[in-house]
Every structure is written in structure tokens, then in C-alpha cells.
Amino acid sequence: PDLKPMIDTCSDWVANKQFRLDDGTMARKRPQEVSLWADDMYMSIPALAEMGRLTGKRKHFDDAVNNVIGMSSRMFNPQLGLYTHGWHANHPDAPRFYWARANGWAVLAMSDLLDVLPKDHPGYPRVLAQLRASIKGIAELQSGSGLWHQMIDRNDSYLETSASAIFTYVIAHAVNQGWIPATTYGSIAQAGWAGLSTRITAQGQVEGTCVGTTLAGDMVYYYHRPTSADALHGYGPALLAGAEIIKLVTNPAFEVQHKVRTYHYLPKGGQTDYREHH
């Protein structure tokens, strides 16, 4: 109750004053006159979802679903299963850059929405389908370390922590919620945590997080964004990921089986015979 004035002020801005496209999709007036940022899925959709939960007004859920659809229709590449960082109304065919953390904000926004969106809402199946398509695209690009690259589709860009943490959380959460199958995605989430844990120091610092990044018009900018343990984008997602992995490995809905490979090297005919036992 003591926060109601602040909630009302912020809610009024989000619902009624933020600049939007004609179809209600929230937009910005920078860097070009009419631009969409995938980051803004997280800046807007969870707020609308929580407004719906707080007030019980369906119009806020409708608005949240509409923004998932509006932003995805312009920024999601269904062939790649990825979101471009941004879209410009005056240059819709501009080059697309698939920045990892922008994809993280997108899937986190949809995950947070599904947590509170009534299951009988007509937009629920569409949001769930969009989240599943995005998770599939992201999962296919996980590196062998369990982490994901700064430019998610470019394996010569550096491995980045904050996006990896968001992906790990969202995939683990989706498994725990039953939105995606544990047999397919459970090990992907666990591999994400294995990689992420290498970035957390004994002092609790989260290393390797890309600093704040604007919507840019060239690939070189993204490749050379510095990382820092002082970049706060990595801390919340790392905590979320760790907590959700604990839930996953203790989830009574399924059993986590640990595969152990033992290799025996047996000389045979002058050559080494490799036998793998599970």
C-alpha cells in the first residue's frame, strides 16, 4: 500500500503515455525516429502483466500479449529462431544484429508474462508458442562450454555471462513449469549452469558481463563492448538461474539422471581400442 502512488504513476505512464506504434506496440524515438528494441520487451511486458495481476483488469493482459505479438512480428526471425536487437520503421530492411542479451530480455519477458497470464486468456497459446520457438533457436546455439556468445549467432564473438544466465534461468523455469519437455531441455539448462558457475568468483563476483549497450548500426560495435564484474546485468540473472536450477534438480516431476562416461583404452593389433561405457 505504501508504494501505491509510485505504482500508479509508473503504471499510468506505461499504459497511457509511452510512445507507441499505431497498433499499440511500445516504441522509442531513438536512435531513429521510430524504433523498436528487443530490450523493451522486458521494459514493458512484465510491467503490463503485473498491472493485470494487481488490478485484475484484463486490458493489461491484452496489452502485454499485443506487445509480444507486435514486437515479435517485426524483430523475430523465424528461420533462425532469434530476435534482432532492433527494428526501424523508416528502414525496416536494415541489417540485423542478433545480440545475445536482447534475446535474453525477450524470452525473460515472455516467461514472466506466462507466470501471471490467465491460462484461459486467448493469447496464452500464442505467447507460449513464441517462447518455445525462441528457446529452440537459443538452445541450438549454446557453445560447448555451456555459455552463449555475445553475438549469439557468431561463435567468433566472446562468451557473455548475463545472456547466458538469463537463458539458463528461462530454460530451467520453462522445464519446471512444464512449458517445454524436461527430456529435451533439462540437460541444456544444467549445461548452462555449469558454464555460468565458472564465471562466479569465490568472492561472489559475476565476471564476463557485457556493459550497457545501445542499439547500434554495425557489428563491430557489439564485438568490442567491454565486459566487467561491475556490470550489474549479470547479478540478478545469475541468482535467478542458480535458484531455478536448484528447483530443477529437485523437481519431483522428473528424475535427473547423471551420465558418467568411462573410457577404456585397450591395445589391440597395435591400435588403441576406444570403448565407451555409460
CA 69 – CA 218 distance, rounded (Å):
26
Q: CA separation (Å) from 10 to 128, 188, 203?
A: 27, 37, 36
- Say what the pLDDT of residue 183 is: 94
SS3 241: helix
**CA of 4: how far to CAs of 18, 199, 249, in Å?**
20, 38, 38
In the chain, which stretches have pLDDT less than 50? 277-278
- The CATH fold of domain 4-277: Glycosyltransferase (1.50.10)
Give the ranges where 140-234 is alpha helix by DSSP (H). 161-177, 182-197, 219-223
For CA atoms 16, 19, 24, 26, the dihedral sign is negative
Q: What percent of the chain has pLDDT over 70?
A: 92
CA 152 to chain centre: 11
Residue 146 pLDDT: 98
Q: What are phi and psi of 210, to 5 degrees?
A: -65, 135
Please check whether residue 177 is in contact with residue 245, taking contact to mean a CB–CB distance below 8 angstroms.
Answer: no
In angstroms, the CA 241 to CA 260 distance is: 24
| pLDDT at position 255 | 85
Q: What DSSP designation does 239 have?
A: H
At 153-190, the pLDDT tens digits run: 999 999 999 999 999 999 999 999 999 999 999 999 99
Q: How far apart are the first and last CA of the chain?
A: 57
Computed on alpha carbons and rounded to an integer, the radius of gyration of the chain in Å comes to: 21
**Are residues 140 and 153 in contact, defined by beta-carbon separation less than 8 angstroms?**
no
pLDDT in the model for residue 264:
52
Q: Could you tell me the three cell numbers for 104?
A: 535474453
Residue 101, φ and ψ in degrees, nearest 5: -65, -30
CA dihedral sign of residues 177, 183, 184, 190: positive
Show me where the domains of the chain are located: 4-277
What share of residues in the chain are helix, strand, coil (percent, to 5)?
A: 50, 15, 35
Cβ atoms of residues 116 and 58 within 8 Å: no
